[in-house]
Amino acid sequence: MASTSNNLSLAVARGKTKFPQRPINADKFLIGSGQVCDLRLGGPTMPPLHSVIHSDDSETWIDALVQRPSLVVNGEETTSTKLSAGDQLQIGEFEFVVCDDETSVTAQEPIADNSLVDEDISDEELGHLISDMTAEQLVDQLERDLALLDQHEAEEQLGVQALLHTVVERQINTVGATGSQPQLAAPAGDAQLIQQIDRAIQALNQFSCDLRDRSEKMAERESSYAEAAVTMLDLQHQMAGQLETLIEQISVMKSKQEPVIRKVA
């Protein structure tokens, strides 16, 4: 186990948090936005389960369970690698340094809150943003938002599937080590399995709630875009009518001035 054999921890090098150093104190240290994670990271693109740190004999490894945001270790994008004190990790906008009892790190300028936060803009900010956009820009923005939502849903599903896979893998390893069937496991093993399943269920429930909330917000934003587009079209029609009236007035003024000019000539 990494926390007892190596005494490793993750120090937040970039990203604001109340707890700048997190000890890796679990057999499988879960990282993601889900409530069951040992290290929770905020952001609209962060899946419920992004990666897991685990021990293999005397070595500590980190495995990425989703493709995005990418896992970068010491400047190289990877899906699985061994960790040692001094290694630098990057997940999205967050940066960490692997520390032991003899190493420490100084945090850089904070760029994000290292907690599960809603980074959607407020209604007032959205109103100002929409007022400065053309109808074509509104349509493009809506398409980008819908694509981002689809991507987020897909990555959250991958994260939940990875968490369930971790639970099943743990049970298989337990059965293989004891040589017994799941229904004949010791009470302590049953309690551990139940706890793992509860964590998976919590992740599924959280995923469902997050998906519902984001769908509602996307529907509200889509409605705002549609209303703004209609308003802009009305304004364009009004401006076209005013411009047409102005052209007629100028034409009338010119027609009145022409006889005077000819008479003077």
Q: Look at residue 79 in the predicted model and tell me its pLDDT.
A: 92
Q: In whole angstroms, what is the distance from residue 161 CA to residue 48 CA?
A: 10
Share of the chain above pLDDT 70, in %: 50
DSSP track, 45-98: T--S--EEEEEETTEEEEEESSSSSPEEETTEEESEEEE-TT-EEEETTEEEEE
Tell which residue, 98, 64, 93, 61, has the closest CA to residue 78.
Answer: 64
Q: Look at residue 86 in the predicted model and tell me its pLDDT.
A: 92
pLDDT digits (tens, 9 = 90+) for 185-208: 444 555 666 666 666 667 666 766
* pLDDT beyond 50 at 147: yes
pLDDT band (50, 70, 90) for residue 141: low
CA distances (Å), 191 to each of 161, 168, 185, 188, 200, in order? Answer: 22, 14, 10, 5, 14
* pLDDT beyond 90 at 95: yes
* pLDDT beyond 60 at 66: yes
Cβ distance 92 to 15 under 8 Å? no
